[in-house]
């Protein structure tokens, strides 16, 4: 085994310094808030994005009909077997601490229905902070639209039940672009994680999830 980093200490120190600069942008606000105007903060953010441009590659957009060859190869290799973790903040208790208690039961009922119909093979529901996560095991491959639709319907059912019983959680439907919390500036903070797998049945699978918050607002880690 050859330690390339120890052999080239000059290059290693340069990479470490660059990494520290980029990490600082992610772990703290620095001078961006609240000491500068929104326009100045945006200008500085654009300058940093330009610096980072060479480190990233364009990801094909399924919404625009672009084909991601990496996803295609992964689906072929795994024969469609996929773990999908799709999360959204459909509402929570004050302080962004946890989702309403009833959300988990609604999510489990929705995914149980999908499992019994054969659409998904297995599932798990859990929360990180006030985000609900739907972890599903299925054979539809990475970025399958029908799986996204199942997740959206599941989150929408949570909102629908709260409307039926007159319960108003904090930030209702804020990640779904359909709730009053999204007005007048709709946002989309829902996200997903896909893993095409060739695991054996006895192989363990670990999933780490985190909810990051600015100072004064709760976060979570699981």
**Whole-angstrom Cα distance, residue 194 to residue 189?**
17
pLDDT at 44: 78
φ, ψ of residue 192 in degrees (nearest 5)? -150, 160
Tell me, yes or no, whether 163 and 82 share the same domain.
Answer: yes
**Whole-angstrom Cα distance, residue 127 to residue 208?**
12
Q: Which of 10-19, 172-181, 198-207 has the highest mean pLDDT?
A: 10-19
The domain tally of the chain equals 2
Tell me, yes or no, whether 95 and 132 share the same domain.
Answer: yes
Whether the pLDDT of residue 65 is over 60: the answer is: yes
Residue reference for tokens 């609900």: 132
Q: Which two three-digit tokens encode residue 73?
A: 């190869």
pTM: 0.64
Q: Compute the average pLDDT of residues 94-121.
A: 92
Q: In this structure, is residue 64 part of a structural domain?
A: no
Q: Which two three-digit tokens encode residue 119?
A: 């659409």
Whether the pLDDT of residue 102 is over 50: the answer is: yes
Q: Which of 46-55, 65-74, 132-141, 199-208 has the highest mean pLDDT?
A: 132-141
Q: In this structure, is residue 61 part of a structural domain?
A: no
Tell me, yes or no, whether 94 and 24 share the same domain.
Answer: no
Query: In terms of residue numbers, what domain contains 43?
Result: 8-55
Stated as kind and residue range, the H or E segment containing 157 is helix 145-165
- Chain Cα centroid distance, residue 192: 4
189 versus 91: the higher-pLDDT residue is 91
């Amino acid at each position: 085994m050859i330690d390339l980093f120890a052999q080239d200490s000059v290059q290693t120190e340069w990479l470490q310094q660059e990494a520290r600069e980029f990490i600082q942008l992610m772990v703290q606000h620095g001078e961006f808030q609240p000491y500068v105007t929104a326009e100045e903060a945006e200008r500085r953010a654009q300058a940093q994005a330009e610096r980072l441009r060479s480190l990233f590659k364009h990801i094909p957009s399924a919404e625009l009909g672009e084909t991601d060859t990496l996803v295609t190869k992964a689906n072929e290799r795994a024969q469609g077997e996929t773990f999908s973790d799709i999360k959204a903040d459909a509402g929570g208790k004050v302080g962004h601490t946890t989702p309403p208690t009833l959300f988990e039961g609604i999510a489990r009922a929705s995914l149980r229905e999908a499992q019994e119909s054969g659409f998904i093979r297995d599932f798990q529901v859990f929360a990180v902070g006030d985000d609900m996560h739907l972890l599903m095991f299925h054979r539809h491959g990475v970025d399958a639209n029908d799986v996204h639709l199942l997740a959206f319907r599941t989150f929408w059912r949570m909102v629908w039940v709260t409307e039926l019983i007159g319960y108003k959680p904090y930030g209702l439907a804020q990640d779904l672009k359909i709730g009053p919390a999204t007005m007048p500036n709709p946002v989309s903070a829902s996200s997903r994680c896909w893993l095409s797998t060739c695991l054996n049945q006895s192989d363990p699978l670990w999933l780490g999830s985190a909810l990051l918050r600015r100072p004064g607002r709760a976060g979570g880690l699981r």
